[in-house]
């Protein structure tokens, strides 16, 4: 009777009419699914943790490399959801541990990305899967998925145990791919200082014994990028770890300048003790003191001044620290700079160039209390007078031409 039923649902209904029929026709039903249903039962069972169903359909010859519309094989489905028993069963049945989908990466990646929205297994279950996959030849550096690779995925969640398994298997992220660009940056964003330390140690071992200059250049740049981010966030331990690992403390990164300037914007002073050049030029603000003054970080300003930073140094869009503080309405910063010997009428930068001195900047931005402070210190509106004289000269020249 079953052989004359074409539809899987009809066979299933018939089998359920009697317990003895169910056991008799169960294997026939699985075989029918393999031959006529593209082994959809294997995909379903792998995704839903049905170990016995997986075992039975494999016994009747289901191919392990069948995939869903997103390219996920049964192994990827099971690894993604933390079903270690099914993963082991599929691997023993010959599943390709390095196969990957177009979007979701490979099994090792999915097992490492335990924070994925569809992962329901415990962290311990994910570790078991990673161990099984690595023991059966999974490539620890295979690329794919949102995070780019397995080590970046594990670093993003700060999963130390999985990271250690991957690093022991030779995982190393030189790709500058994935959501974070590197495992080190992912670890920083996870907030796990231990994860950062592990990656720095592993990188140091690889770089020191290797001769690949391209890899060394990539990591020098990445150290710089992560140092800037850690400095901006005030992550003292990570900054220390990076500096100990050789991160360039004075390296410039575009409009943000160097790490000390970024740190000064966040009120973070630890780079001063690390030997950062306090008067290094770079970024929109020019110097660290200008950044701290613009943001009103008084403690950082005091440290910079005590360390010898020139309060009258020119540079950046504001021209000098006093202009930066005045333009941004930082009264306490203005007071500190004046006490430290800032020249009240110095010109420069955006406000120095377009509007004149610190006084002109404060007037333009409407900071009345600072305007009064600067007048009390003897500030002059020389820039306006100069502009008026220049306009008068232009008018005279025009009249002469007529």
Dump pLDDT digits (tens) for 17-37: 555 555 555 676 788 788 877
Mean pLDDT on 113-123: 45
Asked whether residue 353 is domain-assigned, the answer is: yes
Most confident of 69-83, 167-181, 211-225, 311-325: 69-83
In a shared domain, residues 310 and 323: yes
| Average pLDDT of the segment spanning 183-190 | 92
**Are 218 and 179 in a shared domain?**
yes
Residue 270 lies in a domain: yes
Please check whether residues 296 and 205 belong to one and the same domain: no
Highest-pLDDT range among 8-22, 113-127, 287-301: 287-301
**93 falls within a domain:** no
Report residue 80 as tokens: 């993604």
The reply to whether 178 and 206 lie within a common domain is yes
The average pLDDT across 26-51 equals 86
Do the domain assignments include residue 161? no
Is 32 contained in some domain?
Answer: no
226 and 268 inside one domain: no
Same domain, yes or no: 225 and 282: no
Q: Smallest Cα–Cα separation from 297: which of 268, 320, 255? A: 268
Last residue of a domain, one of 209, 227, 248: 248
For 93, phi then psi, to 5°, come to -85, 0
Q: Which of the listed residues 248, 277, 300 is the one where a domain comes to its end? A: 248
Q: Give the domain-ending residue among 248, 267, 302.
A: 248
CATH number of the domain within which 359 lies: 1.25.40.20
> How many domains would you assign to the chain?
2
Domain membership of residue 337 (yes or no) is yes
What is residue 317's DSSP assignment?
T
Give the mean model confidence (pLDDT) for residues 150-160.
90
Q: Is the pLDDT of residue 95 over 50?
A: yes
Distance of CA 72 to the CA centre of its chain: 27
In eight-state DSSP terms, residue 286 is B
Q: Examine residue 301 and state whether it is found in any structural domain, yes or no.
A: yes
- Give pLDDT tens digits for 247-282: 877 676 655 566 776 665 554 666 777 677 777 776
Residues 331 and 393 in one domain: yes
Same domain, 256 and 402: yes
Do 296 and 190 belong to one domain? no
* pLDDT level of residue 394 (50, 70, 90 thresholds): very low
- Over residues 61-85, the mean pLDDT reads 93
pLDDT band at 314, cuts 50/70/90? confident
Cβ proximity of 106 and 142 under 8 Å? yes
pLDDT value for 402: 39
What pLDDT was estimated at residue 270? 65
Which pLDDT does position 383 carry in this prediction? 43
Q: What is the pLDDT of residue 11?
A: 53
In a domain, 273, yes or no: yes
Q: The whole model's pTM is what?
A: 0.70
**What pLDDT shows up at residue 264?**
59
d(CA 379, CA 377): 6
- Does residue 152 contact residue 115 with C-beta atoms inside 8 Å? no
**Shared-domain flag, residues 177 and 289:** no
Query: Could you tell me if 74 and 42 are in contact, meaning their C-beta atoms sit under 8 angstroms apart?
Result: yes
Tokens of 44: 């379903």
Q: Is 363 helix (H, G, I), strand (E, B) or coil?
A: helix
Same domain? For 347 and 324 the reply is: yes
Return d(Cα 144, Cα 274) in angstroms, integer: 38
The whole domain housing 401 covers 252-402
Query: Which range has the top average pLDDT, 47-61, 103-117, 224-238, 374-388?
Result: 47-61
SS3 category, 103: coil
Considering the domain architecture, whether residues 378 and 264 belong to the same structural domain is answered as yes
């Amino acid at each position: 009777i079953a052989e004359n039923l074409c539809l899987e649902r009809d066979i299933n209904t018939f089998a359920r009419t009697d317990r003895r029929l169910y056991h008799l026709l169960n294997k026939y039903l699985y075989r029918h699914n393999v031959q006529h249903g593209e082994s959809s039962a294997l995909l379903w069972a792998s995704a839903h943790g049905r170990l016995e169903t997986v075992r039975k359909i494999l016994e009747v010859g289901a191919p392990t490399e069948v995939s869903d519309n997103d390219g996920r094989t049964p192994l990827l489905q099971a690894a993604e959801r933390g079903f270690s028993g099914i993963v082991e069963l599929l691997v023993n049945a010959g599943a390709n541990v390095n196969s990957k989908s177009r979007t979701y990466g490979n099994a090792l990646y999915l097992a490492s990305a335990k924070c994925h929205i569809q992962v329901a297994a415990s962290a311990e279950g994910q570790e078991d899967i990673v161990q099984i996959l690595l023991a059966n030849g999974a490539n620890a550096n295979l690329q794919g998925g949102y995070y780019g690779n397995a080590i970046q995925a594990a670093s993003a969640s700060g999963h130390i145990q999985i990271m250690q398994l991957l690093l022991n298997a030779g995982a190393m992220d030189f790709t500058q791919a994935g959501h974070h660009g590197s495992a080190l940056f992912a670890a920083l964003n996870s907030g796990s200082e231990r994860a950062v330390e592990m990656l720095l140690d592993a990188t140091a071992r690889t770089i020191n014994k290797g001769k690949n200059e391209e890899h060394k250049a990539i990591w020098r740049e990445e150290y710089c990028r992560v140092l800037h981010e850690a400095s901006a966030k005030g992550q003292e331990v990570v900054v220390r770890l990076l500096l100990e690992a050789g991160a360039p403390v004075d390296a410039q990164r575009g409009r943000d300048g160097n790490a000390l300037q970024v740190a000064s914007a966040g009120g973070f002073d630890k780079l001063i003790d690390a030997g950062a050049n306090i008067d290094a030029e770079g970024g929109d603000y020019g110097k660290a003191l200008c950044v701290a003054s613009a943001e009103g970080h008084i403690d950082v300003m005091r440290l910079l001044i005590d360390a010898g930073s020139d309060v009258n140094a020119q540079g950046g869009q504001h021209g000098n620290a006093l202009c930066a503080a005045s333009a941004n309405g930082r009264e306490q910063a203005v007071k500190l700079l004046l006490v430290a010997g800032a020249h009240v009428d110095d010109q420069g930068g955006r406000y120095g160039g377009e509007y004149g001195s610190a006084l002109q900047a404060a007037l333009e931005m409407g900071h009345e209390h600072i305007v009064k402070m600067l007048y009390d210190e003897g500030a002059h509106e020389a820039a306006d007078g100069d502009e008026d004289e220049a306009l008068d000269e232009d008018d005279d020249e025009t009249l002469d031409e007529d």
